[in-house]
């Protein structure tokens, strides 16, 4: 090698090094986490997003139940509360109120909503149904579908399957054209087909069994580059992941229906929807926090709060007897205000669980019982100092003091203490350090413009 060529190699190496430093120190764009475009895979432990494991704290926010002007603030507050995934249904009857006539404007702009999620650095889950329940008029199915000859909803019925497949493909192509799937660099990491079909499957007998297999395989065949899920579906076909809905999935979920699928919780009910005449539905911050800590301590990797913001059933979108106010007792209330202490306490839970992330996603687990009411769940990597523990008092009335790894710990009734280093309690689910929020009401002499 000549002296001149040697100098050229050195200069090129230095230039490459300086370029690397420049890239490493450049501001990170909100989209950058999605630009790898690897997509989403999974194993028995967790989803793997663009090659990386994540603990996922998801919140349901439905785009038609708020105005488009509200979306940015709702997403900002969700992110500040420790949420990193937004889940939404897709509402067939608002997008195709008449056969062949479509509406994706204003608060029905699905693509705009998903793009905003990505711009806020959040992931997204879409639940296409197309039957969605959701306390929504006609379960999201358009009324014109009733006039289709010989149709039987949600069954292995050719007219229904034809229209269902057409709608699902139309939505998928709309999202694909906007490059919104994680496999394209977008925020969507999961998609759901059907919805709690197990509750009606037996009524259809063999046609129900055939339908659920058809629905799952049809969805997988769309090749969107992210996994499909079916909630409360024990026989989810092939690679489709079956997930849990309920209030205590850490104890009620029978588990994935294949050993290579992760444990996902698609609906952790933060309260209960209201029907006319019912009092407000209350679920305590302590009980919600207990359920979340319990889930992650038992191999869970994603929890979704249904709802995180319920919003309003505007127009005539509510199901029978359901009030316009939807899940007002969620962490973010109907008006977009934080509802304490639920919002703040869950934010603290997310912080505590993130401190356990390495142990939870890569550690091996054991579960010694400390006494008849108290169990420890331990995640650790042998040969390292990575260790996280969850001390659970399952008794609903009695507190316990237990010894764990040579130290004593006080556990209030029905609570979980989170120890990210297997030594230090950073949070107990029954200990809330935040105040209850209150709203004040003022009567108004008029509504609208004073001169009208």
- The separation between the first and the last C-alpha atoms of the chain, rounded to the nearest angstrom, is 89
Q: Same domain for 295 and 214? A: yes
Q: Same domain for 256 and 350? A: yes
- Digits of tens for pLDDT over the chain (452 positions)? 444 444 433 343 333 333 333 333 333 333 445 545 589 999 999 999 999 999 999 999 999 999 999 999 999 999 999 999 999 999 999 999 999 999 999 999 999 999 999 999 999 999 999 999 999 999 999 999 999 999 999 999 999 999 999 999 999 999 999 999 999 999 999 999 999 999 999 999 999 999 999 999 999 999 999 999 999 999 999 999 999 999 999 999 999 999 999 999 999 999 999 999 988 888 999 999 999 999 999 999 999 999 999 999 999 999 999 999 999 999 999 999 999 999 999 999 999 999 999 999 999 999 999 999 999 999 999 999 999 999 999 999 999 999 999 999 999 999 999 999 999 999 999 999 987 877 777 776 665 654 44
Residues 395-398: contacts with CB under 8 Å, at least 24 apart: 398/373
The reply to whether 219 falls in a domain is yes
Q: Same domain for 156 and 283? A: yes
> How far is it, in rounded angstroms, from Cα 211 to Cα 217?
10
Q: Same domain for 76 and 129? A: yes
CATH code assigned at 298: 3.20.20.80
Alpha carbon separation from 62 to 105, 196, 247, 284 (Å, rounded): 15, 18, 20, 23
Residue span of the structural domain in which 386 resides: 363-428
Q: Same domain for 256 and 395? A: no
Q: Same domain for 319 and 393? A: no
Indicate the length of the chain as a whole number.
452
DSSP state of 32: G
Residues designated catalytic:
196, 267
Strands (E), 90-174: 123-129
Phi-psi region for residue 163, left (φ > 0), alpha (ψ -120 to 50) or beta? alpha
The reply to whether 397 falls in a domain is yes
CA-based nearest residue to 83, from 310, 349, 282: 349
Using alpha carbons only, what angle is made at residue 352 by residues 229 and 299, rounded to the nearest 5 degrees?
Answer: 40
Provide the domain count of the chain: 2
The reply to whether 168 falls in a domain is yes
The reply to whether 86 falls in a domain is yes
> How far is it, in rounded angstroms, from Cα 198 to Cα 212?
9
Q: Same domain for 281 and 416? A: no
Q: Same domain for 184 and 308? A: yes
The reply to whether 19 falls in a domain is no
pLDDT at residue 15, rounded to an integer: 38
The reply to whether 442 falls in a domain is no
Q: Same domain for 105 and 179? A: yes
Q: Same domain for 138 and 226? A: yes
The reply to whether 292 falls in a domain is yes
What pTM was estimated for this model as a whole? Answer: 0.90
Q: Same domain for 350 and 376? A: no
Q: Same domain for 185 and 158? A: yes
């Amino acid at each position: 090698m000549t002296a001149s060529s040697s100098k050229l190699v050195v200069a090129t190496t230095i230039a490459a090094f300086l370029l690397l430093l420049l890239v490493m120190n450049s501001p990170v764009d909100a989209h950058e986490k999605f630009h790898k475009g690897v997509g989403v895979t999974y194993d028995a432990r967790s989803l793997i997003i663009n090659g990386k494991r994540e603990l996922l704290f998801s919140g349901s926010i439905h785009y038609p139940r708020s105005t488009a002007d509200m979306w940015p603030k709702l997403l900002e507050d969700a992110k500040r509360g420790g949420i990193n995934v937004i889940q939404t249904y897709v509402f067939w009857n608002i997008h195709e109120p008449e056969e062949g006539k479509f509406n994706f404007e204003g608060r029905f702009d699905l693509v705009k909503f998903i793009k905003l999620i990505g711009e806020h650095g959040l992931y997204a889950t879409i639940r296409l149904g197309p039957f969605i329940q959701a306390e929504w008029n006609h379960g999201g199915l358009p009324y014109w579908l009733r006039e289709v000859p010989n149709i039987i909803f949600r069954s292995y019925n050719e007219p229904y399957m034809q229209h269902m497949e057409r709608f699902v493909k139309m939505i998928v192509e709309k999202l694909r054209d906007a490059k919104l799937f994680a496999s394209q660099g977008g925020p969507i990491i999961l998609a759901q087909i059907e919805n709690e079909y197990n509750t009606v499957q037996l009524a259809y007998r063999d046609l129900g069994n055939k339908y659920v297999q058809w629905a799952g395989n049809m969805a997988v065949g769309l090749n969107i580059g992210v996994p499909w899920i079916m909630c409360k579906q024990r026989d989810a076909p092939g690679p489709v992941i079956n997930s849990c809905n309920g209030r205590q999935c850490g104890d009620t979920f029978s588990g994935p229906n294949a050993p290579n699928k992760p444990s996902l919780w698609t609906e952790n009910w933060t309260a209960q929807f209201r029907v006319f005449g019912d009092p407000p539905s209350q679920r305590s911050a302590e009980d919600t926090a207990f359920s979340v800590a319990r889930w992650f301590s038992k191999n869970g990797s994603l929890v979704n709060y249904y709802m995180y913001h319920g919003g309003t059933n505007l127009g005539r979108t509510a199901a029978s007897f359901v009030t316009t106010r939807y899940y007002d007792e969620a962490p973010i209330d109907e008006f977009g205000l934080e509802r304490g202490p639920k919002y703040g306490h869950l934010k603290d839970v997310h912080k505590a669980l993130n401190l356990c992330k390495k142990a939870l996603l890569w550690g091996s687990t054991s579960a010694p019982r400390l006494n008849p009411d108290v169990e420890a769940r331990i995640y650790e990597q042998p040969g390292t100092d990575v260790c996280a523990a969850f001390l659970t008092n399952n008794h609903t009335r009695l507190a316990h003091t237990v010894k764990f790894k040579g130290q004593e710990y006080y556990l209030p009734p029905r609570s979980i203490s989170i120890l990210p280093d297997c030594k230090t309690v950073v949070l107990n689910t029954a200990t809330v350090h935040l105040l209850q929020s209150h709203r004040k009401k003022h009567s108004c002499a008029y509504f609208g413009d004073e001169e009208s």
